[in-house]
Amino acid sequence: MADTEDRIDELQRRVAELTQRIYRLEQFFFVGKSSTTEPAGPQPSTSETATRSLQPVVPPPLPRVPAVAPVISSEIPPDLNLESRIGSEWLNRIGIVALLTGVAYFLKLAIDNNWIGPSGRVAIGLLAGIALVTWSSRIHNRGYKYFSYSLTAAGIGVMFLSLWAAFQLYHLLPGAVAFVAMIMVTASAAALALKQDSQIIAAVALAGGFSTPLLLSTGQNRPVELFSYVILLDIFSIFLVALRPWRRLLMGSFLATIALYVGWFSEYYSKEQNHIATGYATAFFLIFAIIPALKRLQQNKDVTWAASKTFLLVALLNPFIFFIELYAMYEHDHRTALAWAAIVLGAFYIVLSKRLVDEQPDVPETEGIGPLHRWLHLAIAISFLTIAVPLKLEGHWITMGWFVESAALLWVGTRAHQQFLKNAAVVALGLGVISLLFIDTFHTQTVVFNSRFATYLLAIAVLTAIAVQVRKERGQSDPAYAVTTICINVLAILALNAEIANFYSRRFQQLQNPNGYYTPGDDWHDLRIARDFSYSALWMLYGAVLMMVGFWRKSSVLRWQALLLMALTIVKVFIYDLSTLSGVFRVVTFLGLGVLLMGISFVYQKDWLKLSVKEPSTGEKS
């Protein structure tokens, strides 16, 4: 037993020594401390120290680095010099391009001299495509993945073109056989994309799939076969996005679907095909509308829903493109049906937004699909419900729908902290303003209390909300704030000018004779003077109010706009009104302008608001 205990003590001593050596080596090589630093671990006893001191001190050997087999990378290291890059990388690629070019010229020479018949040409093309794809797979396995993608895309393209030539040029294959062959090429490319985890190859596969109807087109109107095939491709693209975070494929499929539908509609559509056109347009809409509710996509952790502009853009564009398609089919004969369609779409998006919330876990408002897509779908619902009733009225209600949509998108973007949706709100607002200024026609019977003035007020309200949001986020020194306030004031001036013009236009009409003409006289002259005076008075009053608001809000942006408006008023008064106004109107115009300018000048000179001190860009009075 004593011998056993001695051995145990010896082992403990050796373990303690090894522990100290390891500690010193770690301190020396990794921390940089002195090797004499004592460890914080257990210390040997006095007897053990005395025993160890009698033994010769052997310096610790240097640590041996275990031999590791070098990793041979087929990619070119980034630190190679230019000569090495040219020799190992550039010459390789140029050689491949030269080889392919030589083969292409050989085939052209063979075809021109009838060395190879149509069957041989198609066979060579198919074999060349298969060889390129096979070669690219081997290159991919060696590490040249990006270079292999180019070869794969070229091989797939060669196979599609060979099948197209076999069907369209040489009539070697019937349409059904060529169609099945192209589908097989598409499916094979998609499988290769999944195997190599390559979004580029998947995009090439889908591009070939959507190109198949164009390559095999015979000029016949066959919408059922065409759109059924497109539906399968859309479902396949969603399947790929569910397996991989390749959300750009979704946008590609969406745009390709719209392009094929619009192409068919512009070429073959007729009123007799309303049921087919409506049915497939609805099917396409539903496929892309239910994407946010698909659990398989939600479970894909690689896809960030809140940050993905692709999903947001598809969700935003899909319903409005669908409604435009319905509008093109039913605008002339079935406006009531369009109104009901807008109501149904609004209700659909309300239900869908509710389902998104119910199916999602509690997540922060800036993350996940639930909150962001709920607000976006509610904004879409509000937009459709807004334009539902106006569809049976005048066209300016569509403009008001743009403004309401802009307000809804601005609200959603503010709540979700999404600049993308705020930008979409600005785009919707811009479309509404363009429609208001250049498209809509108004037939009003009253002054101010009419549809035109209400539409202008709605646009001004949305612009005001945007200006307030920009001022909160960026301050009044930001150019966007200045542009927004300028738009507000321009629309306000235009709206008020339109009311003045409308009022005096009706007065002028009362002076017309039964033939539609009127003879200029005292009544006509007095009415024209009153109209010109009204414009000048409006500009002066508006400029004064704008200047007071600029002083109150301490906003140099508003004050500069007021000064510019007053400058225009001065030009009008001294150049135009001086020659046209007379009597009391001339006196009142010049006196009013003089008093206004003197008052503003006095405020600036007294510097009551301390404007000589530089104004801060943020923190303005709210």
**514-559, pLDDT tens digit by residue?**
665 655 555 777 788 888 889 888 998 998 899 888 888 888 888 8
CA distances from 53 to 13, 47, 49, 50, 58 (A): 13, 10, 6, 5, 12
Give the residue among 508, 512, 567 at the shortest CA–CA distance from 543.
Answer: 567
Comparing CA positions, the residue from 492, 501, 436 lying closest to residue 461 is 492
pLDDT means per 10 residues, the chain with 622 residues, are 66 78 66 46 48 46 43 44 58 59 65 77 84 82 74 82 84 89 91 87 90 89 92 91 83 94 92 91 92 63 58 87 89 79 86 65 46 76 73 67 79 74 81 85 84 90 89 85 91 93 84 62 75 89 89 85 87 80 75 80 68 47 38
Asked, for residue 602, whether it belongs to a domain, the answer is yes
Residue 66, domain member (yes or no)? no
| Secondary structure string (H, E, C) spanning 504-570 | HHHHHHHCCCCCCCCCCCHHHHHHHHHHHHHHHHHHHHHHHHHHHHHHHHCCHHHHHHHHHHHHHHH
CA neighbor of 383 nearest in space, from 372, 366, 397 = 397
| Residue 612, in any domain of the structure | no
How far is 85 from 551, CA to CA, in rounded Å? 66
Q: Are 589 and 581 in contact (CB under 8 A)?
A: yes
Q: Report the domain count for the chain.
A: 3
Task: Let me know if residue 477 belongs to a domain.
Answer: no
User: What's the predicted TM-score (pTM) here?
Assistant: 0.55
Q: Is residue 101 part of a domain?
A: no
pLDDT of res. 494: 94
Contact 541, 553 (CB under 8 A): no
Residues 25 and 123 in one domain: no
Say whether both 602 and 506 belong to one domain.
yes
Output the six-digit token pair for 9.
């003590």
Contact 196, 189 (CB under 8 A): no
The dihedral built from the CA positions of residue 478, 483, 487 and 489, taken in this order, carries a sign that is: positive
DSSP per-residue codes, 408-453:
HHHHHHHHHT-HHHHHHHHHHHHHHHHHHHHT-----SSSSSSHHH
Distance between CA atoms of residues 187 and 191, nearest Å: 6
* Crossing angle (nearest 10°) for helices 396-416 and 370-388: 170
Q: Measure the CA–CA gap between 147 and 237, rounded to whole angstroms.
A: 25
Residue 193 lies in a domain: yes
Domain carrying residue 3 = 1-32
Question: Which residue has tokens 């509690």?
Answer: 362
Domain-embedded: residue 249: no
d(CA 393, CA 335) in angstroms, rounded, equals 10
State the Cα–Cα distance between residues 177 and 183, nearest whole angstrom: 10
- For residue 327, being part of any structural domain is answered with no
Secondary structure letter of residue 346 according to DSSP: H
